[in-house]
Amino acid sequence: MKLVVVNKLLMNRGWRLITRTSQIQLLTPDDAQSDDRLIVLPAQSPIPLSTGTFDALMRRVNQTQSFPNWRQALSRVQSLELIIEKSADGLWGRVSLDGLFLVVRGTDTTCLTTQVRTILTGLLVDPTSACCGLPETLAFDIRHDMTELWSFLRQLRATHIADLSGIDLTTINRFISGKEFPSPKQTLRLQQSFQELGHQLLRLSG
């Protein structure tokens, strides 16, 4: 889902844009008196938000409980979990800490960690706050979101092969059970389907 659509969805769910720069946009709930609950998204991206990142974002949007102050938590943390998800044209990264949910996009892990560190440093610049800045020794605990891969693997059933090859499901099941064997034409269609599945698997797992 593209960011412009995500923004509209968030606003329909009771969130409002409070700041936009050339790099990021900040959103808080409509009824918030401060930014104790904050979502940070890239200012723009032509690449749709990856599935796992979008799902995690919507879970955060729908949460209504109060959170501890994320600024204080950031000033004390020594290691921050950065969840990375591969997309067709790069990587999405996200950090979730108390009331803060931060999303970045880049070409590699170094690009993502640099963006996260820069954005967090900027967010912590608050002369009215007693919080210190981001710890210089902050490390990133890299994790990988494989939502799209697991979703793809769940599709690897006879029905999916039937849809790709254009061969009816009953016939596919008879091939699988060894009761029938494909003709040369059917074999070619099956081989093309398996190659397509292989390309998809390489794209998702590479």
Mean pLDDT of the chain: 85
Q: Is the pTM of this model over 0.85?
A: no
**pLDDT tens digits, one per residue of 185-205:** 998 999 998 888 888 777 776
Q: CB-hemisphere CA count at 13 Å for 108? A: 1
Best CA proximity match to 93, nearest among 101, 104, 102: 104
Which residues does 184 contact at the CB level (< 8 Å), separation at least 6? none
The residue assigned the tokens 């923004």 is 7
Q: Which of 66-75, 76-85, 148-157 has the lowest mean pLDDT?
A: 148-157
The residue assigned the tokens 């749709």 is 48
**pLDDT tens digits, one per residue of 106-154:** 999 999 999 999 999 888 875 455 555 677 788 999 999 888 777 777 6
Distance separating alpha carbons of residues 59 and 162, to the nearest angstrom: 34
Residue 50 sits at φ, ψ, to 5 deg, of -65, 160
Q: What is the DSSP letter of 92?
A: E
Q: Structure tokens of 44?
A: 């723009």
Distance separating alpha carbons of residues 41 and 36, to the nearest angstrom: 16
Q: Structure tokens of 38?
A: 């904050």
